[in-house]
Structure 1
Amino acid sequence: MPAAHPSVTRRPLHRRALDVQVFARDDGLFDVEASLIDTKTHDVPLAGVPRKAGDPIHEMRLHLTVDATLTITAASSDTLWMPYPGACNEHGDAYRRLVGLNLMKGFRQAVTERLGGTRGCTHITELCQILPTAVIQAMAGSVIDTREGDAAGNPPFQLDRCHALRRDSATVAKFYPRWHQQAAVQPATSES
């Protein structure tokens, strides 16, 4: 990815890699495996111990099981690499508090309420924030109908969730004509 000023000499310092994989299970449920890995390009001291360049500073994993409605039925986490062994990995079963939440209904706010600050691990809690869109991508077109909307007559979930899929956009007019709405006309204002 080019930088804003690619002609300037630069050197890499840090990398954060996020990965989310979703698996369909034979029992009709879905497993979500998410990870966050931070690495540095130089040696750094952590808690008085040198960490070599390329070794993870953080490696956290979150495991969820969700049903077809995207409700979490099981949750756990692992901390494999951390700055403070014996402390960072002592959040126990905190991420089981995700059980019962729905990824499409207030999930991000509920995560912050249940696991924000000292109630969880900052990095795993941040990792949770990307899960709704990642899991929806995994299920779009197979588990979730992205074309016709739901049985209650509501439009497909993705409409009005980003600028390209505004109900009054040319994109919706072309690909979702049933759900297209004309742009509201703004009344002219007079300046004094």
Structure 2
Amino acid sequence: MSPNAPSAERRLMHSRATLVQVYAREDGLFDVEAELRDIKTRDMQLSAGIRKAGEPVHDMLLHLVVDKHLNIIDAGSVTHAMPYPGHCDRHGNAYARLKGLNLLKGFRAAVKQQLSGVQGCTHLTELCQILPTAVIQAFAGVVIDTREGSDDGQPPFQLDRCHALRRDGEVVQAHYPRWYRQGEARAAAPAVAPASTS
């Protein structure tokens, strides 16, 4: 039996969905839209009354405008559904504080410092944490050069950023031989997430 297989009958209680979409704009910038939605499978008593099963308890959207260097040019949020209407969404658009940050340079640490706890919304702040890797995925091969034969003399962006793409690993040896370094990656890549993605 798979360790993830259910061991008994079960029923769905709650569903959280996150969606990140990145759009290329005609002006050379990019729109990043990140949505978080929580849905219960039962009616739930909230301060504003009964939230029916299937109706979102949380439905929140973060919007960023970023440049090709992953600098945040503009930012904001909208809350469509919340447990405490008139309160959850009264944070003075705290997420405009993301403006000026870079998704690759200390972003997660800055979000924690500026928006954790009572400074923002728990759910929107959590949603921020997935933005760096989601935008990198959108930029890979289009904005960020991920090829073996890069002309700038720099290794492909993704090397040493996960265990599969260690510079001393089989994947790099097979697909990026120019950058393969036997026995080097473990010393070069820290055991925790690199500071550039925190």
TM-score, structure 1 as length reference = 0.90
Aligned residues: 184
The equivalent of 2:80 in structure 1 is 80
The equivalent of 1:91 in structure 2 is 91
The equivalent of 1:118 in structure 2 is 118
The correspondence of residues 11-30 of structure 1 with structure 2, limited to 5 A, is: 11-30=11-30
Q: CA deviation at 1:105?
A: 1.0
- 2-structure distance, mates of 1:108, 1:150: 29
Asked whether the 8 Å contact 2:148–2:155 carries over to 1, the reply is: yes
Q: Determine which structure has more spread, i.e. the larger CA radius of gyration.
A: 1
The equivalent of 2:171 in structure 1 is 171
Gaps of 5+ in 2: 185-198
The equivalent of 2:190 in structure 1 is none
SS of the residue 1:157 aligns to: coil
Asked whether the 8 Å contact 1:72–1:102 carries over to 2, the reply is: yes
CA RMSD of aligned residues (A): 1.9
Kindly provide the CA deviation profile for residues 41-61 of structure 1, in whole angstroms up to 9, marking residues without a partner as x.
011111151111000010110
Asked whether the 8 Å contact 1:91–1:120 carries over to 2, the reply is: yes
Asked whether the 8 Å contact 2:65–2:74 carries over to 1, the reply is: yes
| Residues 1:149 and 1:156: Cα distance change in structure 2 (over 3 Å) | farther
SS of the residue 1:126 aligns to: helix
Instruction: Choose between structure 1 and 2 for higher RCO, CA contacts under 8 A separated by at least 6 residues.
Output: 2
| Residues 1:152 and 1:102: Cα distance change in structure 2 (over 3 Å) | farther
Q: CA deviation at 1:26?
A: 0.3
Gaps of 5+ in 1: 185-192
The equivalent of 2:49 in structure 1 is 49
| Residues 1:105 and 1:93: Cα distance change in structure 2 (over 3 Å) | same
The equivalent of 1:190 in structure 2 is none
Asked whether the 8 Å contact 1:37–1:58 carries over to 2, the reply is: yes
The equivalent of 1:9 in structure 2 is 9
SS of the residue 2:133 aligns to: helix
Q: CA deviation at 1:7?
A: 4.6
Segment of structure 1 superposing worse, 111-120 or 4-13:
4-13
- Residue identity matched to 1:26: E
Q: CA deviation at 1:156?
A: 2.0
Q: CA deviation at 1:181?
A: 1.0
Asked whether the 8 Å contact 1:56–1:81 carries over to 2, the reply is: yes
- 2-structure distance, mates of 1:37, 1:162: 29
Asked whether the 8 Å contact 2:70–2:102 carries over to 1, the reply is: yes
